[in-house]
Structure 1
Amino acid sequence: MPGDHHMRAHLGNLSRSLLRLHKALLDSERVSYERVHGRIETSGAFFQLVLGDAWFAWLRPLSQLMVKIDELSEQDEIEDRTEMTVAIDSIRTMLTPSEEGDGFGRHYYDALQREPDVVLAHAAVRALLR
């Protein structure tokens, strides 16, 4: 299909933008975590916290969606456009900041309030989701 190349390129751009956003969110959360718990000594220790500590749990659904987008962008042929649409819609829904509640949207809202890098990365991802 002629649209597949364009779609894969778009997914690749989205994937890279999400990676920047994810890194900005991790950096922001690390600073907040260290304010409360003290310095994280090594990248390995930080990685273990990201994987296992409740502090970082809110970021895991984003990580899972990023893996999905990566897999889709690496396919030779896009077999299932529905799967792709669902993944992109899920990202769009997830990256909706909310002042209410205590789920992803609230944590995301807080990160956007305190971290200019998150705001810039968010804007880049939103532009690709239009």
Structure 2
Amino acid sequence: MPAQNQARAQLDDLSRALLRLHKALLDGERQTYERLHGRIPSNGQFLQLVLGDGWFAWLRPLSQLMVRLGELAEEEEASTGEEIAALLATLRTLLTPSEEGDGFGRHYYDALQREPDVVLAHAAVRTLLRSPSLNKEPVRHYRS
């Protein structure tokens, strides 16, 4: 498999792994939210909470990075290696749990302590982020 195709396949794998991680985080946050505030009656109401309630705000940076990764994959023109490398670096930084503070890193650390599904999804994403073909310079990503 040519390097470009391998990098594209790994970006697709990364997108899927991030979706699994995001879902595990959302599921865990929903359970915690419902324990404190009562059952969320519908998926539509849950979506509204995810989009607008402060409880779920910490997840928005990950959501935004996932959207950007999807946009890069869908662009008709080639995405530069620099764009992809910057996005991957941002993902690596964001997905670093921290016992300190109150931002994403702290919430992420807490989720990793509570949710086995988050631990498994996190491991899969980190493995893909360390992939040599995603870390070569320069990488050109083309829509096939």
Q: For CA contacts below 8 A with separation 6 or more, give which structure has more relative contact order.
A: 2
Q: How many Å apart are 1:77 and its aligned residue? A: 5.2
Give the secondary-structure state (helix, strand or coil) at the position aligned to 2:97.
coil
Q: Is residue 99–residue 105 contact of structure 1 (8 Å, CA) maintained in 2?
A: yes
Gapped regions of structure 1 (runs ≥ 5)? none
The letter of the residue matching 1:122 is: H
Q: How many Å apart are 1:78 and its aligned residue? A: 3.1
What residue number does 1:29 align with? 29
What residue number does 1:112 align with? 112
What residue number does 2:50 align with? 50
In structure 1, C-alpha distance between the alignment counterparts of 2:87 and 2:79, rounded to whole Å: 14
Query: 1:1-130 residue pairs with structure 2 within 5 A?
Result: 2-76=2-76, 78-130=78-130
Q: Is residue 58–residue 107 contact of structure 1 (8 Å, CA) maintained in 2?
A: yes
Q: Is residue 72–residue 79 contact of structure 2 (8 Å, CA) maintained in 1?
A: no
In structure 2, C-alpha distance between the alignment counterparts of 1:123 and 1:85, rounded to whole Å: 20
Q: Which deviates more from structure 2 when the two are superposed, residues 117-126 or residues 71-80?
A: 71-80
The letter of the residue matching 2:48 is: Q
Tell me the number of residue pairs that the alignment of Structure 1 and Structure 2 aligns: 129
Q: How many Å apart are 1:76 and its aligned residue? A: 4.7
CA RMSD, aligned part only? 1.1
In structure 1, C-alpha distance between the alignment counterparts of 2:35 and 2:25, rounded to whole Å: 16
Per-residue CA shift, 1:52-100, capped at 9, x if unaligned? 0000000000000001111222335533111100001111000000000
In structure 1, C-alpha distance between the alignment counterparts of 2:86 and 2:49, rounded to whole Å: 29
Q: How many Å apart are 1:18 and its aligned residue? A: 0.1
In structure 2, C-alpha distance between the alignment counterparts of 1:79 and 1:30, rounded to whole Å: 35
Identity value in percent: 69
Q: Is residue 11–residue 72 contact of structure 1 (8 Å, CA) maintained in 2?
A: no
- Normalised to the residue count of structure 1, the TM-score between the two structures is 0.95
- Normalised to the residue count of structure 2, the TM-score between the two structures is 0.86
The letter of the residue matching 1:69 is: L
Q: Which has the higher helix share?
A: 1
Q: Is residue 4–residue 78 contact of structure 1 (8 Å, CA) maintained in 2?
A: no
